Amino acid sequence: MFNSGLIALRELKERIATRSFILMSIMGPLLILLITYLLFTYGGDGKQRWRVLIADPAGIMENKIMANEDNSVSYSFADDYLEMEEFRDGKRFQEFDALVEINEKVLSNKTVFVFYRDKPAVRMQTRIQFQIERRIEERMVDEFTDLTVPEFRKIKQPLNVAFRNANDPLDESSDKRGWVGFFFGAMIFTFIFLFGMTILRSVAHEKSNRIVEVLLASVNPRQLMLGKIMGIGVAAFIQFVIWCFVIGFGLYFMREFLFIDALDASKIDMVQMTKDVQEQTTFEQLFAAREYNEFVELIYERVQFSTMITHFLLFFIAGYFFYGALFAAIGATSGSENDGQQFVLPLIFLLCLALYAGYFTLLNPDSSTVDWLQYLPFTAPVVVMVKLAQGYAPGEGYQLYLSLIFLVISAIIMLFIAGRLYKNGILQFGHRIRLITIFKWLKKS
């Protein structure tokens, strides 16, 4: 084990000193932040026309919303209460995309429900919330205060607007947190692929230039393979930590300085600044800011990062050793530095299958197929991350640890198999990889 540690230290020093490692540690997270910025700045510019029905039996809004017409949203009013089934199934209401319920308590509880048929973009949600909130503010000023509307907005509390699917009014199928789990799972497989290929190239390179013959004079093949996997794995972990710090700081910076929440009472000066601005592009920027801040609020406030990161590390380590052993075995059994590339394609297929399994879990969390996918070592890391983010049902938490146990056992078995292939194939040159040869090396002790 001491020799494996020395090999791991050598591999670690060699990796972190390379220009590609340093460049990827800086440019990788910056690229993610740039994509995030562009997505929330320019995404969703396509125009979407919505018709909204407002059920206002108490006449609180007095059948009006804004002084100026909005080309993206048109409102109609109903003077009676509407049952959800009536709105959802009634023929005369099919022309409306959403129903807004304004009850007589809205001025005191500051809560409004919006029931939609097809989920709108967050920017459209924000537009509707912004317009309804400003109208209710005007009514609250008339009803309860002697202040002017601008004075009231300086001390106001934001309106709670809850968007619900008309077919799921209790909001029992929200999947926002699941996407965070999918991101964690995708990060696991991204780093596994990048550093798995590093293992493959390193083994194949040392084998082709005969450096491995010198190394094997001091350590046995299993120690060499394990040390190489461990050293490159530590380099992957260091790079991931750097990514976390850079991305976390970048999201915080954008939230505080670039995408100020226009509907946040603590930043109400932003609303006042845009009060008299008539250009639609200015309001689009405010809606983009709100869209981004819901994303940031999800990341910073709704995700239990202590739990997610702890299990991320456990599944990352186990998954890395499982796939790392596969990459090392391919490099050791190849007859030349380029010979093993044909066997990389099945591994890439497995990694893509794992990502699809995570997406399938996101859409079908209660499927019986998911119950099997979380136990397969090829798909377990991303599937478990999605299920963990969504939350296990009471009494099902054992599945998480059972999946981890299966993955650890699979990694140990794969390391044993790869060690035997590494021992018997690392000093073989000039041959072509054949299944019969691999089976022969597996039988040979």
In this prediction, residue 281 carries a pLDDT of 47
With respect to residue 57, please indicate whether it lies within any of the assigned structural domains. Answer: yes
Mean pLDDT of 79-89: 83
pLDDT above 80: residue 14? yes
Q: Which pLDDT band holds residue 402 (cuts at 50, 70, 90)?
A: very high
Neighbours of 348 (CB within 10 A): 11
157 shares its domain with 187 = no
Q: Which pLDDT band holds residue 337 (cuts at 50, 70, 90)?
A: low
- Higher-confidence residue of 38 and 301: namely 38
With respect to residue 170, please indicate whether it lies within any of the assigned structural domains. Answer: no
306 shares its domain with 425 = yes
Mean pLDDT of 232-250: 88
Rounded distance, CA 305 to CA 383, Å? 17
Rounded distance, CA 370 to CA 132, Å? 41
In this prediction, residue 262 carries a pLDDT of 46
Q: Which pLDDT band holds residue 46 (cuts at 50, 70, 90)?
A: very low
Rounded distance, CA 74 to CA 90, Å? 20
Q: Which pLDDT band holds residue 411 (cuts at 50, 70, 90)?
A: very high
With respect to residue 397, please indicate whether it lies within any of the assigned structural domains. Answer: yes
225 shares its domain with 354 = yes
Mean pLDDT of 251-264: 65
The boundaries of the domain holding residue 66 are: 50-165
Rounded distance, CA 408 to CA 414, Å? 10
Neighbours of 305 (CB within 10 A): 13
> Maximum CA pair distance of the chain?
91
149 shares its domain with 277 = no
Is the separation of the CB atoms in 166 and 53 below 8 Å?
A: no
Mean pLDDT of 331-337: 73
Which of 32-36, 44-48, 63-67, 404-408 has the lowest average pLDDT? 44-48
Rounded distance, CA 56 to CA 113, Å? 12
Rounded distance, CA 117 to CA 25, Å? 43
- Amino acid identity of 63? N
How large is the angle between the packed helices 435-443 and 398-425, nearest 10 degrees?
100
The most confident of the ranges 26-30, 69-73, 433-437 is 26-30
Q: Which of 427, 395, 389 is nearest to 179 (CA)?
A: 389
Q: Which pLDDT band holds residue 276 (cuts at 50, 70, 90)?
A: very low
17 shares its domain with 73 = no
256 shares its domain with 158 = no
Among residues 165, 195, 210, the one where a domain terminates is 165
343 shares its domain with 198 = yes
160 shares its domain with 232 = no
In this prediction, residue 155 carries a pLDDT of 47
Name the domain count of the chain. Answer: 2
Give the position of tokens 């194949």: 204
Among residues 143, 165, 187, the one where a domain terminates is 165
214 shares its domain with 79 = no
158 shares its domain with 182 = no
Among residues 109, 133, 165, the one where a domain terminates is 165
How large is the angle between the packed helices 122-144 and 280-297, nearest 10 degrees?
100
Which of 187-196, 223-232, 342-351 has the lowest average pLDDT? 342-351
The structure's pTM equals 0.66
Is the separation of the CB atoms in 311 and 397 below 8 Å?
A: no
In this prediction, residue 47 carries a pLDDT of 44
- Amino acid identity of 427? L
125 shares its domain with 269 = no
In this prediction, residue 410 carries a pLDDT of 94
